[in-house]
Amino acid sequence: MKCRSPLVCWIVAAAVVAAAAPSGVFASRVPTPRDGVRPPLTATLIQGAAAAQAEANVLVVYYSQSGNTERLAEVVAEGAQRVDGVSVTLKAVADVTREDLVEADGLILGSPTYYANIAGPMKSFIDDWALRYGVYLGGKVGGAFATGGGDTGGKEHVVVSLLLAMMNNGMAVAGPTHEEAEVKFGYPGASALTPAPGSGFSDAETENARLLGERIARLVLRISTRVGG
């Protein structure tokens, strides 16, 4: 097949894949911004005492093979939970559903550093947003975190790459800097050095991860636009 431009080629390929995909989990068409629309918030509150108070949802998604990124994800989620009115869901990337993505007002992604880049399963998850999940994430608030074995092994590149994917999908992204923090710049996201066996993250790494969760949760309450609304 010959295409006049890469864009035309991409659209044709997307349409072919979408048409070939089975119904159900796989979307039968390329998503549009309207796919992110959900009914008024009052009609969509999930059951349960805590959720009944929730005005917005934050979804923390991580990939972790040996547990470090999972532990950092727990700290990020703990930070988000500090904010009243926000319901927080923490999930391994393999367990995320389309509904999780649609319902999330804020999305925080975490990945280990693999060869200075996003780990494959997290990248595949991102690549699946359009055709497999069929969601458009525009208007949601995003944040990112990473773990890595080296001081300069690429953690920041992972964070920035995750944020870039979110920006590319119309999301508003933010770092962890908190209005009340002493240092108000220099952190596009949270990151931590792989701890030695038996030890944990440093206090600064832990606090920064908490601030990331808290920051995104606060922003979600403030600027979540509910696409199409």
Interface ranges with ligand FMN (CB under 6 A): 64-70, 112-116, 147-150, 153-154, 194
Three-class HEC string of the chain: CCCCCHHHHHHHHHHHHHHHCCCCCCCCCCCCHHHHCCCCHHHHCCCCHHHHHCCEEEEEEECCCCCHHHHHHHHHHHHHHCCCCEEEEEEEHHHCCHHHHHHCCEEEEEEEEECCEECHHHHHHHHHHHHHHCCCCCCCEEEEEEEECCCCCCHHHHHHHHHHHHHHCCCEECCCCCCCCCCCCCCCCEEEECCCCCCCCCHHHHHHHHHHHHHHHHHHHHHCCCCCC
